[in-house]
Structure 1
Amino acid sequence: MKLLQTSVLASALALAAAAGAPSPAHAVDALELVNATLDQASDLAALPRQQVQLKRPPFVHDHDQVAKGGPKVVQFTLPIVEEEIVIDGEGTKMHAMTFGGSIPGPLMVVHEGDYVEVTLVNLASNAMPHNIDFHAATGALGGGDLTVIQPGEEVTLRWKATRPGTFVYHCAPGGPMTPWHVVAGMHGTIMVLPRDGLKDGDGKPLRYDRAYYVGETEFYIPRDANGNFKSYASHAESLPDTLAAMKGLVPSHIVFNGAVGALAGDNAMTSKVGETLLLVHSQANRDTRPHLIGGHGDYVWEEGKFNNAPLKDLETWFIRGGSAGAALYTFHQPGLHVYLNHNLIEAVLLGAAAHIKVDGDKWNHDLMTTPSPVGAIKPDTDLSLPVAK
């Protein structure tokens, strides 16, 4: 609580200074104002508390789709991990900054009206200060103003989930450090479900059998004079070249879940014919265009906000930079489905693609079949198209 008071006080004094007020003379008044504000916080002693064990994306922790009982305090612990990672099959390395040791950070799920209580831990082995900004939260830069912590420190932030939907969270230490920390991996999503669950445009309930979280990230790996990707001994050493590469706005990689092929092959997402999948997709920095090859978006919250009616039957949907969206699809055919960013240059050449392996015993020939097998072109076949007159 003392750290919270100090952080709020610092923010109040900074705002006062920006407004031209003589902040030192008003420090005592500002502290009294902070204390009075804290006294106004809801008394949550009577609310149940739920400690959640987060899962590494694309997986999502266990949760109820329809809330049971009234609001509760949902508690998460989120360690910050700085580490060198390999981001493609060529062995390209970068110094990543992560929430929870993964890119993206884990998906958190609560219900509208719940209180989110996140303990952010900046490991002593890290080199830099960090914080967290929740787009779903109200005030204090989404919590970023209250959560700046140095290596070896931790802080607990509590905020009320008042708006249902999918929302990005990310590190925002200020200045050029904010975009650098984000494209180095420090972003994730929180999903605030309506208390009575998801609904279609007519108010009918929608449910899903499985949920996956895909976080899209673009990396800016500097190159040497010969065009080869460079590696560095530390985050600090990489910073000048990385900032220069970022200013060019030309990513070296655009990936799902931290690396090229991270969700392909043996790491593919899985489902079954007849199952309904919820796909949550975020991009903290750039626009993207998710598409499911061989499938559709049955119901899509393109803007990620569950108070709005979902769009239906989309082929490709649009996720704005700095936001997260959600899509439901029920599989009708077995086999490999490719889920990608339908800027095909970014998907095929830069890495923004994933696989979904769908199990099923029977192929539905009514939906698709080959009445004529592959064979040589018949001789003397006229393939010209008639000219309209």
Structure 2
Amino acid sequence: MKFKLSHFIPLLVLFFSVSLAAKPPQNPVRVTQTLVPPPALPEHTQIAQGPPKIVQITLSIEEKEIEVADGVYIQAMTFNGSVPGPMIVVHQNDWVEVTLKNPATNSMLHNIDFHAATGAMGGGELTRINPGEQVTLKFKATKAGVFVYHCAPGGSVTPFHVVAGMSGAIMVLPRNGLKGASNHSVRYDKAFYIGEQDFYIPRDSSGQFIRYASISDAVAPTEAIMKTLTPSFVVFNGRVNALTGSNAMTADVGDNVLVIHSQANRDSRPHIIGGHADLVWPGGAFDNKPIKDLETWFVAGGSAVAAIYKFRQPGIHAYVNHNLIEAVLLGAAAHFQINGEWDHDLMTQVSPPSPIP
């Protein structure tokens, strides 16, 4: 049997096509993402525009005192000054290039562990910096989903850094956008990031919370409380009532609202009072089919979860950790303020309260 060059052309085309596809794009576009305080998300597109990019971000570590409830303070450690740290948004196969800064005014060594990254303790081994130093890390966001990031300097101080506020989340969107349970395209009109945080605050002999002058003063007594596994407060976005009243998250009837909920340390179970989750991606994994129509969903400690709900009635919708002890007594509650017209077909008061005859 004679072989002609034409017999090999399809194989050569396939070989070079696969080889080129496997190589990263030459000189990928660099973009800078401006991070914003939670519950907001930075500007982003839901569907990727063009080939993978290098997304540049800056996180500056700020050690500072914060008020977690009226008259109750902790010596916190934060990314960009907020608890949780800001949400980062990229698309699958983008590179995240993060410059981490530890100003000389700080007192401790810090780093960052991205649950979205592969290798070197999530980047934690490559980002250890003392006060007055900065470091730049680049990693490829290979998995689509929502993921926690947090400080993890090593040993017994790692949990102290986490419960002092040093966690946030990154959302890695599929390049062609989110898909529903039947593989149809799903878009959201608004998106919010809720970072749940447990705080452990020592009390004095009279039962009052102690206010410390520095982080070094707070470490040992705080770690003693941490070992009880009994939080003093469990809050959304850094303090009791951070997302209620005038700080409530707002949307309109008919809006598809994406909620990303993270917990770096403990399990949680979000629930919308008077609503549901139309779609939930367990574990935040966008490449898996979402579950439909959940009343309450689960966030494992050290993870983030995404859910979408189309609000159907106006008014206040409470969003809570449905361990109601934590929601009502410890602070894990937020509000959505929804604007629009009431649908009496969904719910109506047939008769007002009156004496029993």
2:202 corresponds to which of 222, 225, 230: 222
* 1:367 alignment partner in structure 2: 346
Match of 1:313 among 283, 293, 316: 293
Does 2:218 match 1:238? Answer: yes
Shift of 1:124: 1.4
1:135 corresponds in structure 2 to 115
Q: Secondary structure at the match of 1:87?
A: strand
Once the two structures are TM-superposed, the CA of residue 372 in structure 1 deviates from its matched residue by: 1.2
Q: Deviations over 1:221-263 (max 9, x none)?
A: 0011111111111000111100100001100000000000000
Question: What is the CA–CA distance in structure 2 between the aligned matches of 1:213 and 1:198, rounded to whole Å?
Answer: 17
**TM-score with structure 1 length normalisation?**
0.85
Distance 1:188 1:45 in 2: 31
Encode CA deviations 1:278-332: one digit per residue, 9 max, x unaligned. 0000000000000001110000012100011001000000000000000000011
1:68 is aligned with what amino acid?
Answer: Q
Aligned residues: 335
Aligned: 1:191 with 2:171: yes
Question: Structure 1 stretch 238-247 or stretch 43-52: which is displaced more?
Answer: 43-52
Q: Does 1:76 align with 2:57?
A: yes
Q: Distance in 1 between matches of 2:207 and 2:186?
A: 50
Which residue of 1 is the match for residue 4 of structure 2?
Answer: none
Q: Name the CA shift for 1:44/1:84 in 2 (closer, same or farther; >3 Å).
A: farther
Q: Which amino acid aligns with 1:78?
A: L
CA-to-aligned-CA distance 1:204-225 (integer Å, 9 cap, x gap):
0000001100000000000111
Q: Distance in 1 between matches of 2:289 and 2:25?
A: 32
Superposition deviation, residue 43 in structure 1: 6.9
- CA distance in structure 2 between the aligned counterparts of 1:329 and 1:356, rounded to whole angstroms: 12
Name the structure 2 match of 1:63. 44
Alignment of 1:288-303 (within 5 A): 288-303=268-283
CA distance in 2, matches of 1:45, 1:140: 26
Matched, 1:265 2:245: yes
Paired residue secondary structure (2:210): coil
Alignment of 1:1-389 (within 5 A): 46-89=27-70, 91-360=71-340, 362-378=341-357
TM-score of the pair, normalised by structure 2? 0.93
Instruction: List alignment gaps of at least 5 residues for structure 2.
Output: 1-22
Equivalent in the alignment of 1:17: none
**Matches of 2:221 and 2:274 in 1, distance apart?**
41
Q: Distance in 1 between matches of 2:58 and 2:229?
A: 34
Once the two structures are superposed, what CA deviation does each residue of 1:162-198 show, in whole Å capped at 9, x if it has no partner? 0000000000001111000000000000000000000
Partner Cα separation in structure 2 for residue 371 and residue 230 of structure 1 = 51
- Across the aligned residues of Structure 1 and Structure 2, the Cα RMSD in angstroms comes to 0.9
In the TM superposition, what is the alpha-carbon distance from 1:44 to its structure 2 partner? 6.7
Q: Which secondary structure does the structure 1 equivalent of 2:284 belong to?
A: coil
Question: Counterpart in 2 of 1:12?
Answer: none
Tell me which amino acid in the other structure corresponds to 2:61.
Answer: I
Is the Cα–Cα contact under 8 Å of residues 167 and 264 in structure 2 kept in the other structure? Answer: yes
The separation in 2 between residues aligned to 1:376 and 1:237, in whole angstroms, is 59
Aligned mates of 1:109, 1:219 — CA distance in 2: 27
Structure 1, residues 121-169: CA drift from partner, whole Å, max 9, x if none? Answer: 1111111010000001000000000000011111000000000000000
Distance 1:128 1:300 in 2: 38
- What SS does the corresponding residue of 2:229 show, helix, strand or coil? coil
Distance (whole Å) between structure 2 residues aligned to residue 272 and residue 327 of structure 1: 17
- Partner of 1:303, secondary structure, is helix
Which residue of structure 2 lines up, in the alignment, with residue 24 of structure 1? none
Q: Which residue of 2 aligns with 1:4?
A: none
Corresponding position of 1:25:
none
User: Aligned equivalents of 2:82 and 2:25: distance in 1?
Assistant: 32
